[in-house]
Every structure is written in structure tokens, then in C-alpha cells.
Amino acid sequence: MSFLRRLFGGGARSGDDRGLHLYIKCQRCGAPVHVRLDLNNDLSADEYDDTAADGYHVIKEVMDDRCFRIMRAELRFDNRRREISREIEGGAFISPEEYEELRAAKAGPRV
């Protein structure tokens, strides 16, 4: 059985998260959104030289759950998949702490 789990990826996951977590606040309604980008699969190569990509980029369209407005995030990366720049239309990037505060405020007080 353990052979099948290793073969098909079942079982416990390792703690190595190769993702980039984005926290965004909608410009219109203020709803917080969390998005995870997979740095191995979500990025597109800009151009290739002889053997490797010169850099990468991703355009991610994000929708909140309150006003359902589309926000468009564009991020650029170097050839080692390290973030170089980020821009967003229709929203603002926020910190993980701000995201948690907005989520807690949205949920309201617990009784």
C-alpha cells in the first residue's frame, strides 16, 4: 500500500510549500481574498535563451465573495522564480495580518 501512496501522491504532505500566497482587498467592497500561486505550475516563461527561461510572469484574475468584482493581478519573476514586481487593478495587496483582521471583522462576534 505504501508503494501506491508514493506512486499516486496520497498520504501526508511535506511541509515544503512552493507556493506564493497573495492577500488582496477589493477596492469596491473591501472584501479580503487569499490566493495561492504554485510557482512550479502557474508561471509562464517570458522568453527562452539556449536552455532556460529569461524570466516568468503570471496574470491572475481574482473574484471576491461579496460584490463579485474581478481584480487583475500581474506579477513578474526572475529566472529563479523570485518575485521582481507586482501590480493589481481593482484591489490592493495587503499583509496576512490585515487579511485575518478583515476576515474576523466580516465573521462578526462569536456568541
- C-alpha 28/C-alpha 10 separation (Å) is 41
Q: Write the CA distances from 88 to 8, 29, 54, integer angstroms.
A: 37, 16, 23
Q: What is the pLDDT of residue 47?
A: 80
Is there a domain that residue 80 lies in?
yes
Is there a domain that residue 5 lies in?
no
Q: What is the pLDDT of residue 48?
A: 74
Is there a domain that residue 12 lies in?
no
Region 25-41: mean pLDDT is 96
User: How many alpha carbons fall within 13 Å on the CB side of residue 77?
Assistant: 19
Is there a domain that residue 7 lies in?
no
Domain span at 81: 17-107
Domain total in the chain: 1
Is there a domain that residue 30 lies in?
yes
Where does the pLDDT of residue 111 fall: very low under 50, low under 70, confident under 90, or very high at 90 and above?
low
Is there a domain that residue 11 lies in?
no
Where does the pLDDT of residue 106 fall: very low under 50, low under 70, confident under 90, or very high at 90 and above?
confident
Pairing of strands 44-45, 32-38: unpaired
Residues 46-89: pLDDT tens digits? Answer: 887 766 788 999 999 999 999 999 999 999 999 999 999 999 99
- pTM of the complete model: 0.78
- % pLDDT > 90, the chain: 68
Is there a domain that residue 10 lies in?
no
